[in-house]
Structure 1
Amino acid sequence: MTDTAATDTPAFDPSTMTGLELLEALTPMLEKVPNIGRLLGMRTDHLEPGMVVFSLETQPDFANPLGTTHGGICATLLDSVMGCAVHTTLEPGVGYGTLELKVNYIRSVPTDGRRLTATGTVVHAGRRTATAEGRVVDEDGKLVAHATTTCMIHR
């Protein structure tokens, strides 16, 4: 009997990889395993130390009772890019968790397939905590929401 999981995905040991290396290795596999990004249709557009860019298209299932995109979609997108931006700064075997998330909503977004792009950037990467900021823009480059986060570093 052949183990298909072993042949479908590259072998790697996450405990030996930096946060950036782990994100780069996982990106091609994200459509194959359950995760919040797959659920929302997030795509990884860019990864570099201290900065991450993800995007998604709005859809009718994202609607709030008023018929526009629920704020939780932008909050999740922002939490993801800011947390992953922090993750890109971490050495092997080190993790993180969101301690605080502050989101400011600027404008409503239709659920008509509009592309939202979020950029997360590290402001401070310390030994015990890290902070980051994020922005979501629509396909016209208009600011939709912005946020800050504080993450606890798990050593």
Structure 2
Amino acid sequence: MSTPHDPQSAFHFGVISVSDSGVLASQRLCPRFADHRGLIELPALAVLFDNCGGIPFHRVHDPAAATLQARLAMSTHGRARVGDVLTARAEAVMHDDDWGSTSVEIRTGDGDLCCVGTARNVRVGRAPTGATPSAEIAQAAPRCADDESALPEPIPATLSGRDVVDEIASKMREPGPLTDMLNGRVEVIDGATDREAGIRFRSATEPWMGNVFGTMHGGVIATIVGQAASFAGHLHAGAGQEYSIGDMAIGFYRSPAVDGSEVTVEVTPIKLGRRISSFEATMTSYDDVLLSRATVDVHYR
């Protein structure tokens, strides 16, 4: 696998067209975006969603103005597949000089809607340290080289979710290509009862994870948080039980440096149900600064 140089190249982001109010973009789902089950889940779509969620609001301002996303709300239905080419469409639905909201929808190559939601945009006073978003957009093209990431071995249906996550935490089972790309490590947080158990997910930052301000890209933060929540969802699944992330709402409070230091996500259950379980996921920096917080709903079948 080639070394990515930014989130856009890492997640095979390509712009198809840009107008004053909207954007149409694509992502090719190579094996590197699969989770520990070999499946494509919501975290793999977060960089595409965040990028598209920010472009329309930026375009309605002075191109020199710096903007970013303060919050993302994503809902999924169905699941895209490895090898699929996604198409994302986004448009600014309301805005003033300081704030905006962008609607985002992502469709599979067959045209099926698989993810929909909104991004809350804000204009900031910080100056970009690299190219502005407009410059990136103008130069962008679909990027996807052959990916040599191997999909993980199938999980035996006899294993409970706790068994699977314990094996990943003890390095007896591969955590999946996406977790490897995020330099992720999984730990189980035991509670007073099994139903209170959670996940601690540590990710070592790298320069490619950065945004135009030189700190972590919001889409990468959402990917890390979402993948941590996915492990928490599996932790509470029965043997052979299928699950998927149905909804994630995440707020960005601070963006960490991407200098090799570690970020940590702790995921704890809010309410465990037979069909839907809700979790809270909190990301902190190596020195315990709060970076983001999310609520995540996991759906079971």
TM-score (norm 2): 0.44
- SS of residue paired to 2:300: strand
Counting aligned pairs with the same residue, the percent is 24
Aligned residue in 2 for 1:37 = 179
Q: What letter corresponds to residue 222 of structure 2 in structure 1?
A: A
Q: CA deviation at 1:25?
A: 2.0
Q: What letter corresponds to residue 151 of structure 1 in structure 2?
A: V
Aligned partners of 2:234 and 2:177: how far apart in 1? 17
Q: What letter corresponds to residue 36 of structure 1 in structure 2?
A: L
Count residues with an aligned counterpart.
142
- SS of residue paired to 2:244: strand
Aligned partners of 1:138 and 1:24: how far apart in 2? 25
What residue ranges of structure 2 are gaps of 5+ in the alignment?
1-152
Aligned residue in 1 for 2:203 = 56
Aligned residue in 1 for 2:161 = 19
Aligned residue in 2 for 1:72 = 219
Q: What letter corresponds to residue 230 of structure 2 in structure 1?
A: G
Aligned residue in 2 for 1:89 = 236
Aligned partners of 2:178 and 2:167: how far apart in 1? 17
Q: Deviations over 1:60-116 (max 9, x none)?
A: 010112221111222112112222212111110112101111111111211111210
Contact kept? 2:168, 2:186, Cα under 8 Å: no
Q: Are positions 1:114 and 2:278 aligned together?
A: no
Contact kept? 1:14, 1:22, Cα under 8 Å: no
- SS of residue paired to 1:14: coil
Choose 1 or 2 for highest CA Rg.
2
- Structure 1 pair 111–12 and aligned structure 2 pair: CA distance change class (3 A): closer
Contact kept? 2:182, 2:224, Cα under 8 Å: no
Q: What letter corresponds to residue 81 of structure 1 in structure 2?
A: A
Q: CA deviation at 1:26?
A: 3.4
Aligned partners of 2:248 and 2:242: how far apart in 1? 17
Q: What letter corresponds to residue 74 of structure 1 in structure 2?
A: I
Q: Deviations over 1:106-132 (max 9, x none)?
A: 112111112101011111121111111
- SS of residue paired to 1:21: helix
Aligned residue in 1 for 2:36 = none
Aligned partners of 1:13 and 1:98: how far apart in 2? 18
Contact kept? 1:104, 1:147, Cα under 8 Å: yes
Aligned residue in 2 for 1:147 = 294
Question: Higher relative contact order at CA 8 Å, sep ≥6: structure 1 or structure 2?
Answer: 1
Q: What letter corresponds to residue 30 of structure 1 in structure 2?
A: E
Aligned residue in 2 for 1:46 = 188
Which one has the bigger helix percentage?
1
Aligned partners of 1:90 and 1:14: how far apart in 2? 13
Aligned partners of 1:66 and 1:150: how far apart in 2? 31
Q: CA deviation at 1:47?
A: 4.7
Contact kept? 1:30, 1:37, Cα under 8 Å: no
Q: CA deviation at 1:13?
A: 5.9
